[in-house]
Amino acid sequence: MVTGGGTGGHVYPTLTTVRTLQDVLAERGAAPAEVLWIGAAGSLEERVAGEAGIAFRSVATGKLRRAGNPLRMITWANIRDAFRVPLGAVQALGIVRSARPDVVVGFGGYVAVPVSVAAWLSRRPLMVHEQTVRLGLANRMLVRLAARTALSSESSLQLLPPRVGGRAEVTGNPVRPELFQGEADKARKALDLAGFDAAKPTVYVTGGAQGAKQINALVTQLLPWLLERANVIHQCGAADLERQRQAAGELSAELARRYHVTPYVGAEMPDVYALADLVISRSGAGTIAEITGLGKAAVLIPLASSAGGEQAHNARFLEERGAARALVGPLAADDLREALEPLLADPAARGEMAVQARRQGRPEAARTLAALILDVAGN
Protein backbone atom coordinates (compact mmCIF):
# COMPACT_ATOMS: atom_id res chain seq x y z
CA MET A 1 0.00 0.00 0.00
CA VAL A 2 1.34 3.44 -0.92
CA THR A 3 0.00 6.79 0.19
CA GLY A 4 1.00 10.34 -0.55
CA GLY A 5 -0.10 13.18 -2.74
CA GLY A 6 -1.26 16.73 -3.06
CA THR A 7 1.65 17.84 -5.25
CA GLY A 8 3.87 16.33 -7.90
CA GLY A 9 6.71 16.33 -5.38
CA HIS A 10 4.90 13.56 -3.50
CA VAL A 11 3.05 11.91 -6.38
CA TYR A 12 5.78 11.28 -8.94
CA PRO A 13 8.30 9.71 -6.53
CA THR A 14 5.46 7.39 -5.49
CA LEU A 15 4.75 6.42 -9.10
CA THR A 16 8.44 5.96 -9.94
CA THR A 17 8.95 3.77 -6.89
CA VAL A 18 5.97 1.55 -7.69
CA ARG A 19 7.15 1.04 -11.27
CA THR A 20 10.71 0.30 -10.14
CA LEU A 21 9.45 -2.11 -7.48
CA GLN A 22 7.63 -4.11 -10.15
CA ASP A 23 10.78 -4.10 -12.31
CA VAL A 24 12.87 -5.40 -9.41
CA LEU A 25 10.37 -8.18 -8.71
CA ALA A 26 10.35 -9.16 -12.39
CA GLU A 27 14.16 -9.31 -12.40
CA ARG A 28 13.99 -11.65 -9.42
CA GLY A 29 11.50 -13.86 -11.23
CA ALA A 30 8.82 -13.06 -8.64
CA ALA A 31 5.16 -12.29 -9.19
CA PRO A 32 4.27 -8.60 -9.45
CA ALA A 33 3.19 -6.85 -6.28
CA GLU A 34 -0.45 -6.00 -5.70
CA VAL A 35 -0.40 -2.25 -5.17
CA LEU A 36 -3.14 -0.10 -3.67
CA TRP A 37 -2.67 3.68 -3.67
CA ILE A 38 -4.57 5.67 -1.04
CA GLY A 39 -5.09 9.36 -1.71
CA ALA A 40 -7.63 12.16 -1.87
CA ALA A 41 -10.63 12.06 -4.19
CA GLY A 42 -10.33 14.15 -7.35
CA SER A 43 -6.62 14.66 -6.75
CA LEU A 44 -3.47 14.54 -8.84
CA GLU A 45 -2.60 11.20 -7.27
CA GLU A 46 -5.96 9.73 -8.28
CA ARG A 47 -5.41 10.81 -11.89
CA VAL A 48 -1.82 9.55 -12.00
CA ALA A 49 -2.70 6.22 -10.39
CA GLY A 50 -5.54 5.74 -12.87
CA GLU A 51 -3.31 6.49 -15.86
CA ALA A 52 -0.73 4.00 -14.54
CA GLY A 53 -3.29 1.26 -13.92
CA ILE A 54 -2.73 1.27 -10.14
CA ALA A 55 -5.71 0.47 -7.91
CA PHE A 56 -6.81 3.55 -5.98
CA ARG A 57 -9.04 4.33 -3.02
CA SER A 58 -9.72 7.70 -1.47
CA VAL A 59 -10.01 8.99 2.08
CA ALA A 60 -11.01 12.37 3.43
CA THR A 61 -8.10 14.59 4.35
CA GLY A 62 -7.52 18.02 5.83
CA LYS A 63 -4.82 20.55 5.10
CA LEU A 64 -3.25 22.79 7.75
CA ARG A 65 -2.74 26.23 6.23
CA ARG A 66 0.18 27.66 8.16
CA ALA A 67 0.93 31.31 8.91
CA GLY A 68 3.60 33.21 10.82
CA ASN A 69 0.97 34.52 13.23
CA PRO A 70 -0.89 31.60 14.90
CA LEU A 71 -4.07 33.69 15.10
CA ARG A 72 -4.14 33.88 11.30
CA MET A 73 -4.39 30.08 11.21
CA ILE A 74 -7.88 30.27 12.71
CA THR A 75 -9.74 30.27 9.40
CA TRP A 76 -12.91 28.59 8.18
CA ALA A 77 -10.83 26.46 5.82
CA ASN A 78 -8.67 25.15 8.67
CA ILE A 79 -11.67 24.61 10.93
CA ARG A 80 -13.54 22.73 8.16
CA ASP A 81 -10.55 20.54 7.39
CA ALA A 82 -10.01 19.81 11.08
CA PHE A 83 -13.33 17.93 11.03
CA ARG A 84 -12.29 15.98 7.93
CA VAL A 85 -9.22 14.50 9.61
CA PRO A 86 -11.12 12.16 11.98
CA LEU A 87 -13.32 11.00 9.09
CA GLY A 88 -10.23 10.22 7.00
CA ALA A 89 -8.68 8.35 9.89
CA VAL A 90 -11.74 6.10 10.25
CA GLN A 91 -11.85 5.47 6.49
CA ALA A 92 -8.11 4.69 6.37
CA LEU A 93 -8.38 2.30 9.32
CA GLY A 94 -11.12 0.37 7.53
CA ILE A 95 -9.10 0.13 4.31
CA VAL A 96 -5.89 -0.98 6.02
CA ARG A 97 -7.62 -3.59 8.16
CA SER A 98 -9.47 -4.92 5.12
CA ALA A 99 -6.46 -5.01 2.78
CA ARG A 100 -3.90 -6.16 5.39
CA PRO A 101 -0.92 -4.94 3.33
CA ASP A 102 2.54 -6.45 3.81
CA VAL A 103 3.91 -2.91 4.01
CA VAL A 104 2.51 0.62 3.92
CA VAL A 105 4.77 3.28 2.41
CA GLY A 106 4.02 6.95 3.06
CA PHE A 107 5.45 9.51 0.63
CA GLY A 108 4.28 12.62 2.43
CA GLY A 109 1.46 15.08 2.06
CA TYR A 110 -1.48 15.38 4.41
CA VAL A 111 -3.24 12.32 3.00
CA ALA A 112 -0.35 10.17 4.24
CA VAL A 113 -1.14 10.98 7.88
CA PRO A 114 -4.41 9.04 8.40
CA VAL A 115 -3.21 6.08 6.34
CA SER A 116 0.13 5.84 8.14
CA VAL A 117 -1.51 6.13 11.55
CA ALA A 118 -3.98 3.43 10.50
CA ALA A 119 -1.05 1.18 9.54
CA TRP A 120 0.54 1.71 12.96
CA LEU A 121 -2.74 1.04 14.78
CA SER A 122 -3.28 -2.10 12.69
CA ARG A 123 0.30 -3.27 13.33
CA ARG A 124 1.17 -3.32 9.64
CA PRO A 125 4.82 -2.45 8.81
CA LEU A 126 5.06 1.27 8.05
CA MET A 127 7.82 2.93 6.03
CA VAL A 128 8.11 6.67 5.43
CA HIS A 129 9.97 8.41 2.60
CA GLU A 130 10.98 12.07 2.81
CA GLN A 131 11.73 13.90 -0.45
CA THR A 132 13.12 17.17 0.92
CA VAL A 133 16.29 18.01 2.83
CA ARG A 134 14.18 19.07 5.79
CA LEU A 135 11.31 16.86 6.89
CA GLY A 136 7.83 18.03 5.94
CA LEU A 137 5.23 18.61 8.65
CA ALA A 138 3.44 15.31 8.03
CA ASN A 139 6.61 13.23 8.04
CA ARG A 140 7.95 14.89 11.19
CA MET A 141 5.04 13.23 12.96
CA LEU A 142 5.05 9.94 11.09
CA VAL A 143 8.74 8.97 11.40
CA ARG A 144 8.08 8.21 15.09
CA LEU A 145 5.62 5.49 14.05
CA ALA A 146 7.61 4.03 11.16
CA ALA A 147 9.60 0.80 11.16
CA ARG A 148 11.97 2.41 8.64
CA THR A 149 12.51 5.94 7.35
CA ALA A 150 14.00 6.62 3.91
CA LEU A 151 15.68 9.99 3.41
CA SER A 152 16.79 11.90 0.34
CA SER A 153 19.80 13.58 1.95
CA GLU A 154 22.51 12.70 4.46
CA SER A 155 21.96 16.05 6.18
CA SER A 156 18.43 14.99 7.11
CA LEU A 157 19.74 12.36 9.53
CA GLN A 158 20.63 14.97 12.13
CA LEU A 159 17.08 16.33 12.03
CA LEU A 160 15.55 13.05 13.18
CA PRO A 161 14.71 12.30 16.82
CA PRO A 162 17.54 10.20 18.33
CA ARG A 163 15.51 7.01 18.65
CA VAL A 164 14.39 7.29 15.01
CA GLY A 165 17.86 7.78 13.51
CA GLY A 166 18.82 4.14 13.91
CA ARG A 167 15.88 3.12 11.73
CA ALA A 168 16.72 5.57 8.93
CA GLU A 169 18.50 5.03 5.62
CA VAL A 170 19.52 7.53 2.97
CA THR A 171 18.09 6.32 -0.34
CA GLY A 172 17.77 9.55 -2.32
CA ASN A 173 14.65 10.82 -4.06
CA PRO A 174 13.37 8.64 -6.95
CA VAL A 175 13.72 10.08 -10.42
CA ARG A 176 11.99 8.45 -13.38
CA PRO A 177 14.62 6.38 -15.21
CA GLU A 178 13.81 7.74 -18.67
CA LEU A 179 15.35 11.09 -17.67
CA PHE A 180 18.77 9.44 -17.79
CA GLN A 181 18.27 8.30 -21.39
CA GLY A 182 17.98 11.67 -23.11
CA GLU A 183 19.77 12.61 -26.34
CA ALA A 184 20.55 16.22 -27.21
CA ASP A 185 20.07 15.69 -30.95
CA LYS A 186 16.55 14.41 -30.37
CA ALA A 187 15.67 17.65 -28.57
CA ARG A 188 17.00 19.70 -31.48
CA LYS A 189 14.84 17.75 -33.91
CA ALA A 190 11.70 17.43 -31.77
CA LEU A 191 11.63 21.14 -30.89
CA ASP A 192 12.95 22.34 -34.28
CA LEU A 193 15.97 24.13 -32.83
CA ALA A 194 17.86 24.51 -36.09
CA GLY A 195 18.48 28.18 -35.31
CA PHE A 196 20.39 27.43 -32.12
CA ASP A 197 24.09 28.36 -32.17
CA ALA A 198 26.18 25.27 -31.37
CA ALA A 199 29.01 27.51 -30.13
CA LYS A 200 26.85 28.91 -27.34
CA PRO A 201 25.57 27.15 -24.20
CA THR A 202 21.91 26.17 -23.98
CA VAL A 203 19.86 27.38 -20.99
CA TYR A 204 16.69 25.55 -19.97
CA VAL A 205 14.27 27.80 -18.09
CA THR A 206 11.42 26.10 -16.25
CA GLY A 207 8.95 26.91 -13.53
CA GLY A 208 7.36 23.48 -13.44
CA ALA A 209 4.35 22.26 -15.38
CA GLN A 210 2.38 25.48 -14.82
CA GLY A 211 5.33 27.81 -15.21
CA ALA A 212 6.45 30.44 -12.70
CA LYS A 213 5.49 34.08 -13.22
CA GLN A 214 8.46 35.34 -11.22
CA ILE A 215 10.99 33.39 -13.29
CA ASN A 216 9.23 34.30 -16.54
CA ALA A 217 9.29 38.00 -15.69
CA LEU A 218 12.96 38.01 -14.69
CA VAL A 219 14.05 36.11 -17.80
CA THR A 220 11.97 38.37 -20.06
CA GLN A 221 13.71 41.46 -18.70
CA LEU A 222 17.07 39.88 -19.51
CA LEU A 223 16.10 38.26 -22.78
CA PRO A 224 18.22 40.25 -25.31
CA TRP A 225 21.25 40.13 -22.99
CA LEU A 226 20.76 36.42 -22.35
CA LEU A 227 20.30 35.48 -26.01
CA GLU A 228 23.51 37.25 -26.98
CA ARG A 229 25.27 34.69 -24.78
CA ALA A 230 23.14 31.55 -24.99
CA ASN A 231 20.39 29.56 -26.64
CA VAL A 232 17.26 29.42 -24.48
CA ILE A 233 14.50 26.83 -24.14
CA HIS A 234 11.84 28.53 -22.04
CA GLN A 235 9.04 26.40 -20.57
CA CYS A 236 6.77 29.20 -19.38
CA GLY A 237 3.40 27.56 -18.64
CA ALA A 238 0.14 28.11 -20.52
CA ALA A 239 -0.84 31.26 -18.63
CA ASP A 240 2.22 33.24 -19.74
CA LEU A 241 2.60 31.82 -23.23
CA GLU A 242 1.17 34.80 -25.13
CA ARG A 243 3.24 37.28 -23.14
CA GLN A 244 6.42 35.32 -23.88
CA ARG A 245 5.53 35.09 -27.54
CA GLN A 246 5.09 38.86 -27.61
CA ALA A 247 8.51 39.25 -26.01
CA ALA A 248 9.95 36.93 -28.68
CA GLY A 249 8.33 39.05 -31.40
CA GLU A 250 10.27 42.09 -30.21
CA LEU A 251 13.63 40.35 -30.66
CA SER A 252 15.88 40.76 -33.66
CA ALA A 253 15.74 37.89 -36.14
CA GLU A 254 19.17 36.68 -35.07
CA LEU A 255 18.26 36.52 -31.37
CA ALA A 256 14.80 35.08 -32.02
CA ARG A 257 16.37 32.04 -33.70
CA ARG A 258 18.01 31.18 -30.37
CA TYR A 259 14.81 31.45 -28.30
CA HIS A 260 12.32 28.59 -28.10
CA VAL A 261 9.28 29.20 -25.90
CA THR A 262 6.80 26.45 -25.02
CA PRO A 263 4.03 26.13 -22.44
CA TYR A 264 4.98 22.60 -21.43
CA VAL A 265 7.75 20.06 -21.97
CA GLY A 266 6.43 16.51 -22.03
CA ALA A 267 8.02 13.45 -23.58
CA GLU A 268 10.96 15.57 -24.77
CA MET A 269 12.06 16.30 -21.17
CA PRO A 270 14.94 13.77 -21.10
CA ASP A 271 16.29 15.15 -24.37
CA VAL A 272 15.92 18.78 -23.23
CA TYR A 273 17.90 17.98 -20.10
CA ALA A 274 20.56 16.28 -22.24
CA LEU A 275 20.88 19.40 -24.37
CA ALA A 276 20.88 21.90 -21.49
CA ASP A 277 24.19 23.25 -20.17
CA LEU A 278 22.50 25.31 -17.46
CA VAL A 279 19.06 25.20 -15.79
CA ILE A 280 17.10 28.10 -14.30
CA SER A 281 14.31 26.75 -12.10
CA ARG A 282 12.52 26.50 -8.80
CA SER A 283 14.06 24.24 -6.15
CA GLY A 284 11.38 21.76 -5.20
CA ALA A 285 12.42 18.27 -4.14
CA GLY A 286 11.72 16.75 -7.55
CA THR A 287 13.74 19.36 -9.40
CA ILE A 288 16.64 18.96 -6.97
CA ALA A 289 16.62 15.19 -7.51
CA GLU A 290 16.63 15.65 -11.29
CA ILE A 291 19.42 18.23 -11.60
CA THR A 292 21.66 16.42 -9.11
CA GLY A 293 20.95 12.98 -10.55
CA LEU A 294 21.76 14.25 -14.03
CA GLY A 295 24.57 16.53 -12.89
CA LYS A 296 23.36 19.89 -14.22
CA ALA A 297 24.63 23.35 -13.35
CA ALA A 298 21.71 25.43 -12.10
CA VAL A 299 20.56 28.82 -10.87
CA LEU A 300 17.74 28.18 -8.42
CA ILE A 301 14.96 30.65 -7.59
CA PRO A 302 12.97 29.13 -4.70
CA LEU A 303 9.22 29.55 -4.40
CA ALA A 304 8.92 31.91 -1.44
CA SER A 305 5.60 30.42 -0.30
CA SER A 306 6.80 26.78 -0.23
CA ALA A 307 5.81 25.00 2.98
CA GLY A 308 8.26 25.69 5.78
CA GLY A 309 10.64 27.46 3.39
CA GLU A 310 11.67 24.05 2.02
CA GLN A 311 12.62 25.32 -1.43
CA ALA A 312 14.92 28.01 -0.03
CA HIS A 313 16.55 25.41 2.21
CA ASN A 314 17.03 23.05 -0.77
CA ALA A 315 18.62 25.82 -2.85
CA ARG A 316 20.98 26.97 -0.10
CA PHE A 317 21.98 23.36 0.60
CA LEU A 318 23.23 22.97 -2.98
CA GLU A 319 24.84 26.40 -3.10
CA GLU A 320 26.86 25.66 0.06
CA ARG A 321 28.31 22.65 -1.77
CA GLY A 322 29.09 24.51 -4.98
CA ALA A 323 26.35 22.58 -6.78
CA ALA A 324 24.11 25.53 -7.73
CA ARG A 325 23.54 29.27 -7.29
CA ALA A 326 20.65 30.17 -4.98
CA LEU A 327 18.72 33.41 -5.42
CA VAL A 328 16.59 33.76 -2.30
CA GLY A 329 14.37 36.67 -1.33
CA PRO A 330 13.15 39.68 -3.34
CA LEU A 331 14.91 39.66 -6.71
CA ALA A 332 15.58 42.04 -9.56
CA ALA A 333 16.67 41.12 -13.06
CA ASP A 334 20.18 42.33 -12.23
CA ASP A 335 20.45 39.68 -9.51
CA LEU A 336 19.72 36.95 -12.02
CA ARG A 337 22.16 38.46 -14.53
CA GLU A 338 24.91 38.58 -11.90
CA ALA A 339 24.36 34.88 -11.14
CA LEU A 340 24.25 33.85 -14.80
CA GLU A 341 27.12 35.89 -16.24
CA PRO A 342 30.11 33.92 -14.87
CA LEU A 343 28.44 30.59 -15.68
CA LEU A 344 27.60 31.57 -19.25
CA ALA A 345 31.06 33.01 -19.85
CA ASP A 346 33.06 30.11 -18.41
CA PRO A 347 32.43 26.51 -19.48
CA ALA A 348 34.84 25.32 -16.77
CA ALA A 349 32.73 27.01 -14.08
CA ARG A 350 29.61 25.30 -15.40
CA GLY A 351 31.44 22.01 -15.56
CA GLU A 352 32.67 22.23 -11.98
CA MET A 353 29.18 23.10 -10.75
CA ALA A 354 27.78 20.13 -12.69
CA VAL A 355 30.36 17.84 -11.06
CA GLN A 356 29.40 19.08 -7.59
CA ALA A 357 25.71 18.65 -8.42
CA ARG A 358 26.29 15.07 -9.53
CA ARG A 359 28.07 14.35 -6.23
CA GLN A 360 24.85 15.25 -4.43
CA GLY A 361 22.72 13.07 -6.71
CA ARG A 362 21.51 9.52 -6.21
CA PRO A 363 20.43 8.21 -9.63
CA GLU A 364 19.80 4.73 -8.17
CA ALA A 365 17.37 6.09 -5.57
CA ALA A 366 14.30 4.30 -6.94
CA ARG A 367 16.00 0.89 -6.93
CA THR A 368 17.46 1.46 -3.47
CA LEU A 369 14.04 2.45 -2.18
CA ALA A 370 12.34 -0.52 -3.83
CA ALA A 371 14.83 -2.91 -2.22
CA LEU A 372 14.20 -1.33 1.18
CA ILE A 373 10.44 -1.70 0.76
CA LEU A 374 10.83 -5.38 -0.01
CA ASP A 375 13.06 -5.77 3.02
CA VAL A 376 10.48 -4.14 5.29
CA ALA A 377 7.78 -6.33 3.75
CA GLY A 378 9.86 -9.41 4.52
CA ASN A 379 10.53 -10.34 0.87
| pLDDT for the residue numbered 85 | 74
Same domain, residue pair 55 and 128:
yes
Whether 155 and 300 share a structural domain: no
Contact between 36 and 1 (Cβ < 8 Å) = yes
- Whole-number pLDDT of residue 65: 43
What pLDDT score does 77 carry?
57
Nearest-CA neighbor of 295 among 357, 239, 346? 357
Burial class (CB in 10 A: 0-12, 13-18, 19+), 28: exposed
Task: List the CATH number of the domain containing 223.
Answer: 3.40.50.2000
What pLDDT does residue 310 have?
84
pLDDT the model gives residue 140? 83
pLDDT in tens, the chain (379 residues): 999 998 888 899 999 999 999 999 999 999 999 999 999 999 999 999 999 999 999 999 866 544 455 555 566 555 566 666 788 889 999 999 999 999 999 998 889 999 999 999 999 999 999 988 778 777 888 999 999 999 998 888 888 888 888 899 999 999 999 999 999 999 999 999 999 999 999 999 998 766 689 999 999 999 999 999 999 999 999 999 999 999 999 999 999 999 999 999 989 999 999 999 999 999 988 899 999 999 999 999 998 877 668 889 899 999 999 999 999 988 999 999 999 999 999 999 999 999 999 999 999 999 999 999 999 999 7
Provide the residue type at 55 as one letter.
A
* Inter-helix orientation angle 310-320/285-294, to 10°: 20
Give the pLDDT confidence score for residue 72 in this predicted structure: 57
CA gap 369, 155 in Å, rounded: 18
Same domain, residue pair 297 and 329: yes
pLDDT confidence of residue 212 = 85
73 DSSP 8-state letter = G
Q: pTM (2 decimals)?
A: 0.86
Is there a single domain that holds both residue 186 and residue 333? yes
Do 191 and 152 sit in the same domain of this protein? no
Query: 216 with 319, same domain?
Result: yes
Asked if residue 231 and residue 160 are part of one domain, the reply reads no
DSSP state letters, 290-318:
HHHHHT-EEEE---TTSGGGHHHHHHHHH
Sheet hosting strand 297-300, strand order edge to edge: 259-262, 231-235, 202-206, 278-281, 297-300, 325-326
* Residue 237 and residue 187 in one domain: yes
Structural domain including 34 reads 2-175+363-376
If asked whether residues 92 and 239 sit together in one domain, one would say no
User: Are 116 and 195 members of one domain?
Assistant: no
Same domain, 139 and 260: no
308 & 372 share domain: no
Count of domains forming the chain: 2
Residue 220 has a pLDDT of 96
Long-range contacts of 238-246 (CB under 8 A, 24+ apart): 238/210, 238/211, 238/263, 238/264, 239/210, 239/211, 239/213, 240/211, 240/213, 240/216, 243/216, 244/216, 244/220
